[in-house]
A and B are shown apart, each in its own frame.
Chain A
Amino acid sequence: MLTSHRVEIRDSIASAYDFYEQAYEWGWTDGLPTILPTEERVSAFLAYLKRDPGEIVAEIPPGLGVATVEKIAINAVMAGCRPEYLPVLLAAIEAIMEPQFNLNGVQATTNPAAPLLIINGPCRDQLRLNCGSNALGQGCRANATIGRALRFILVNVGGAVPGSVDKATLGQPGKYTFCLGENEEENPWEPLHVERGFSREQSTVTVVGASGTNNIIVDGQNPETILTVIASSMTSMGSNHLYLEASGEPLVILCPSHAAILNRAGLAKSDVKRVLWERARISLDLFPPGLAKLQRSRGRVVDGKVVLVPKPESLMILVAGGPSGLHSTHVPTFGDTIAVTKVVG
């Protein structure tokens, strides 16, 4: 039995536009048009899930709105999801609710942080998730609408209304949707979820409190050059990883070509992390005095250089993207957040 407040609207093709106007006025959308969450559509989603609509999945901070299965389904319909995306969305919600993810902070911070969803395992094929060309761009329904549905829930249930509760100074496009699959087939090493203790046969969602993406082109076959350029691109005085006391877990998304070159050079994923960690440093001399003092006070200075994170294991490596081009990506994070992985049930 559905318990959400029912709103009566005109039923016609034209009413989709009217609903958009109304939903926007009520603050139900991300600014883009949405699907009408009719009782019939929501019921169909709930029938797929076979769970009690009233079951409480989470109380989403900072507003602590109650995310029942029904509310999650309504937001998923609005975002344009297919019913079979719901288990991924539920796992993502379970992941962001773990205390180490610090959802309260991610939701309210002035940083542009947004949960980035990384999908691993067999569900990538089943849901036709894009793990290849333009995986972080537009064009794939699963990537687009799973990330969008989570954003709807963060606002409609979690209360993170921009400007009032969500204090992001500028935000970033990933706050509309931010979801991709790992290109496990082109990953020469173990996929992210296997590295994090799951089996290849399990489908998982890993959430990262990501601040955006920073493209890194390294046009060449030399692994030394690739690692040096990526390390340099990760390192900036304006990074939250350096500014906050909690240094977090910067993510590097290697394109298949870069990953293959590094693997052919005999480097394991752990070697890549170690070399990046050794090179992602800024000379203390370059810091303005106040920031130099801050870094010294935190014990982040090693051999006259400020380290991005305290240990190589704090770096995350993913392989995604298409076969063309030599563009990897650095995903800086909010800093005060730790990635969490959950199984898609």
Chain B
Amino acid sequence: MSESTVFVLDPTSKPKVLGLKLAERPADIRGLTVGFLDSGWWSFGVVLERYRELLAERFGIRAVTYHKKKERPAPKELLDELATKCQIVINGLAN
């Protein structure tokens, strides 16, 4: 007996905008300015301090900027400012 087939439809969906690329990663981070975008969670504070130590110890980076998110998502002006001032940003998303 031959077996018939049916078609089912894919329930998943993709975003409209595809192909967003990550920014180019710097080959060497020495001398760059690092931004921290604090999610406000206690756990991010711990991570932030450790990153700050490691960046200073291993790469001599002392130029950091710090912002705490007062609203979510972070306003475009703040993101633009970070993009202008910093070459690397460490973004706290949650806890």
Question: Chain A residues in contact with chain B, CB under 8 A?
Answer: 2, 4-12, 15, 19, 28, 36-39, 42, 59, 63-68, 70-71, 74-75, 78, 102, 104-105, 108-110, 152, 156-157, 167, 245, 336
Contacts and interface: CB of A to CB of B under 8 A. Distances in A.
A11 B3 contact: yes
B14 interface: yes
Nearest to B93: A108
Contacts of B72: 102, 104-105, 336
Given A39-B9, A63-B15, 19 more contacts: A4-B9, A4-B11, A5-B9, A5-B10, A7-B9, A7-B10, A8-B5, A8-B6, A38-B8, A59-B16, A64-B15, A64-B17, A66-B14, A70-B9, A74-B9, A74-B11, A102-B72, A104-B73, A156-B12
26 contacts: A4-B10, A5-B9, A6-B7, A8-B5, A9-B5, A10-B4, A10-B5, A10-B6, A11-B3, A15-B6, A36-B6, A36-B8, A37-B9, A39-B7, A39-B8, A59-B15, A63-B15, A64-B16, A65-B14, A65-B15, A71-B12, A75-B11, A102-B72, A104-B73, A105-B72, A336-B72
B1 to A, nearest CB: 10
Contacts of A102: 72
Contact of B9 (A6, A65, A245): A6
Provide the main secondary structure of the chain A interface: mixed
A19 B15 contact: no
Contacts of A9: 5-8
Given A67-B13, A68-B13, A157-B12, A108 B94 contact: yes
A104 B74 CA distance: 13
A36 to B, nearest CB: 5
B95 interface: yes
Interface residues of B, number: 21
Most A CB contacts (10 A, CB to CB) among B5, B11, B73, B93 go to B11
Contacts of A11: 3-6
B17 to A, nearest CB: 8
Contacts of B6: 8-11, 15, 36, 38-39
A240 B32 CA distance: 38
A156 B13 contact: yes
Given A10-B3, A12-B3, A104-B73, A157 B13 contact: yes
Most A CB contacts (10 A, CB to CB) among B9, B72, B73, B93 go to B9
B95 to A, nearest CB: 6
A110 B16 contact: no
Contacts of A71: 11-13
